[in-house]
């Protein structure tokens, strides 16, 4: 069955450093992958979408890569700030449908 893995352990990094979060998947060939941010007690907020034929996508301090050979996406936040502290979810399109399957998320904490 389709499976998405995100590191369930929290990631703590120092302010100003680059945070890198990983999303691995198996039994999948998604055409699209999305990253969301979720703060405690709130709904997810869309950040970026990347297509299978795009290796990299950037938006301000955010960068996403999509390696269909490794079946992995990396999410980078450069010059991280305490305000970036949140849980980050990856979501993969399920088999050519409109449905996205979500990972469990990785909690990021940026230390001042």
Residues engaged in binding another protein (CB under 8 A): 4, 8, 31-32, 41-46, 49, 51, 89, 91, 93, 96-105
Give the nearer residue to another protein in terms of CB position, either 47 or 78: 47
Give the nearer residue to another protein in terms of CB position, either 8 or 26: 8
CB of residue 38 to another protein, shortest distance in Å:
9
Give the nearer residue to another protein in terms of CB position, either 6 or 80: 6
CB of residue 14 to another protein, shortest distance in Å:
26
CB of residue 54 to another protein, shortest distance in Å:
11
Give the nearer residue to another protein in terms of CB position, either 72 or 78: 72
* Secondary structure of the chain as H, E, C letters: CCEEEECCCCEEEECCCCEEEEEEEECCCCCEEEEEEECCCCCCEEEEEEECCCCEEEECCEEEEEECCCCEEEEEECCCCHHHCEEEEEEEECCCCCCEEECCCEEEEEEC
Token code pair at residue 54:
């795009």
CB of residue 43 to another protein, shortest distance in Å:
3
């Amino acid at each position: 069955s389709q499976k998405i893995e995100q590191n369930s352990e929290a990631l703590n990094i120092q302010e100003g450093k680059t945070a890198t979060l990983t999303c691995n998947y198996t039994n999948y060939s998604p055409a699209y992958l999305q990253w969301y941010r979720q703060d405690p007690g709130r709904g997810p907020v869309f950040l970026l979408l990347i297509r299978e034929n795009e290796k990299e996508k950037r938006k301000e301090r955010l960068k996403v890569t999509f390696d269909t050979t490794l079946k992995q996406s990396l999410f980078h936040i450069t010059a991280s700030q305490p305000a970036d502290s949140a849980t980050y979810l990856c979501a993969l399109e399920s088999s050519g449908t409109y449905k996205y399957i979500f990972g469990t998320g990785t909690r990021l904490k940026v230390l001042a």
